[in-house]
Amino acid sequence: MKAEIMGGSFPVAIVELEQGQAVQCESGAMAWFNGGLKMYTNTGGGLFKMFGRWISGESIFLNRYVAEDGPGIISIAAHSPGEIRKVSLTPDKPILVQKGSFLAMDDGADLSMFFQKKLKSGLFGGEGFVMNKMKGTGDVLLEIDGGAVEYDLEEGETLIIDTGYLVMMDATCKLKAKMVKGLKNIIFGGEGLFNTHVTGPGHVIVQTMPLSRFTRMVRGIMKKIKKRGR
């Protein structure tokens, strides 16, 4: 995928397509495209995959843009302030993506749901029972809330992550939910009961300002403004 990411904190990915090439994105992600492209809305692999995307928090339908009448461009926009990152897939290197982070992909990539095997990780890990699994050949565009920080974890190396901060990890990584140690830490630490532990080997992307946290922060500011205005 030939994509140029622009727009600073309100990013769009300008994807260039040669004749016959195509890109798939979730519905509502397209900002603009030129006349050489045709749009086709589809289920992205049948009713089961459509249902899986609904469970994992993605749009039910996918829009496929094909350069039928010659080369063209399409702009794919993020839904909130942050970044867009391009990740390359190979058949031997699938990735797991947090719900809401998928933005677009090449035709050679495949998007499906992935169930957490352990009950505790699904309930308390902050990422839910279902994540998105992406495999195949090609490039994927991921939406990042705030900024992106990347790590390459060695075998047995663990990164401890608060709820909502994990964006992506290689499928070789393991995810577990573990309770915060110490009564004082639980009551006064402000981090909740559980943290997500991601153990390598594999590549991990975390985000600096999950949309849920940003929304809570804005609500808090608005409440303070209202109180001062009374």
Residue 223 lies in a domain: no
- The domain that contains 22 carries what CATH number? 3.60.160.10
The pLDDT tens digits for 11-42 are 999 999 999 999 999 888 999 999 789 999 87
Listed range (41-50, 158-167, 173-182) with the worst mean pLDDT: 41-50
User: Which spans in 56-191 are helix H?
Assistant: 119-124, 183-188
Domain range spanning residue 178?
2-218
Amino acid at 124: F
More confident residue, 179 or 48: 179
Residue 58 lies in a domain: yes
Report the domain count for the chain: 1
Amino acid at 30: M
Residue 194 lies in a domain: yes
Residue 226 lies in a domain: no
CA distances from 39 to 62, 67, 132, 171 (A): 10, 9, 24, 32
185 pLDDT more than 50? no
Per-residue model confidence (pLDDT) at position 16? 96
Residue 140 lies in a domain: yes
145, 82 contact by CB (below 8 A): yes
**Residue 186 pLDDT class (50, 70, 90 cuts):** very low
Residue 108 lies in a domain: yes
State the burial class of residue 211 (Cβ atoms within 10 Å of its Cβ: 0-12, 13-18, 19+). middle
